[in-house]
Structure 1
């Protein structure tokens, strides 16, 4: 069950949250910072830091989506 959550659901949630965060906040770096803080707190309190590599991956995914949204906005 955890594998499905980590591989399928969380990347989708991060993807959508990054798009919505960029559209609402108009800054590409705010949403990845928020996602990093939330996931770090969850990783250290719930799973005792064993999934910190996923925190880095999901933060990188959020940065990539936010920068893509920024470049799409600048091209229009």
Structure 2
């Protein structure tokens, strides 16, 4: 990717749902999606790192992903307890 932004096309039903949500909460779709991405970043990181290391081996991929997720969760728990 060569840009710092991403454009997401929302279908009419999802757009309407986001508009209703924003009317109730004053939380914009952009903020909602930014927060969602921040929360799911560890999973994306674990998947990408496991894919990098698995070299196409699906069994290794599953094991690596599990280990990486466990490590990331432990790191988050350590930060919270510190």
- Higher RCO (C-alpha 8 Å, min separation 6): 1
Q: Which has more helix, going by share of residues?
A: 1
What's the TM-score, normalizing by structure 2? 0.42
What's the TM-score, normalizing by structure 1? 0.45
Q: Which of the pair has more CA radius of gyration?
A: 2
